[in-house]
């Protein structure tokens, strides 16, 4: 990438994107509690919704694998109806321009 400010900005954007995906996967905009632990060679991540109910339990050998598993778990929970409703939400102007160019 480049300098530290750019790296920090990219990390912050990706963190926001991950939290948005987590919110979609749990269907809970109130926030989630994360529990991280090790069991043998695996890292385990438990995600609880705002009511304390277990939403996801994923594991992997490293943080990258745990992140991929969590993203996939979130996508598995998002229904077609939910995606259809999301499709109706307006995007910010720059995002709209980008999607129109690719059509």
What lies within 8 Å, CB to CB, of 59 at 6+ separation is 39, 42, 43, 44, 45, 66, 69
**pLDDT beneath 70: ranges in the chain:** 1-2, 95-103
Q: What is the pLDDT of residue 100?
A: 64
Give the three-state DSSP class for 60: strand
Q: What is the pLDDT of residue 94?
A: 72
Domain boundaries, the chain: 27-79
Tell me how far apart the alpha carbons of residues 89 and 54 are, in angstroms, rounded to a whole number. 28
Q: What is the pLDDT of residue 50?
A: 87
Q: What is the pLDDT of residue 81?
A: 84
- From its phi and psi, is residue 81 left (phi > 0), alpha (psi between -120 and 50) or beta? alpha
Q: What is the DSSP letter of 28?
A: -
- pTM, two decimals, is 0.75
Q: What is the pLDDT of residue 103?
A: 52
């Amino acid at each position: 990438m480049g300098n530290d400010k750019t790296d920090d900005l990219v990390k912050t954007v990706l963190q926001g994107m991950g939290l948005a995906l987590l919110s979609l996967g749990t269907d809970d905009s109130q926030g989630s509690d994360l529990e991280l632990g090790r069991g043998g060679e695996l890292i385990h991540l438990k995600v609880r919704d705002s009511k304390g109910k277990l939403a996801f339990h994923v594991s992997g050998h490293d943080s990258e694998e745990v992140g991929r598993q969590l993203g996939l778990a979130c996508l598995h929970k998002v229904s077609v109806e939910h995606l259809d409703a999301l499709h109706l939400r307006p995007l910010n102007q720059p995002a709209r321009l980008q999607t129109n160019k690719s059509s």
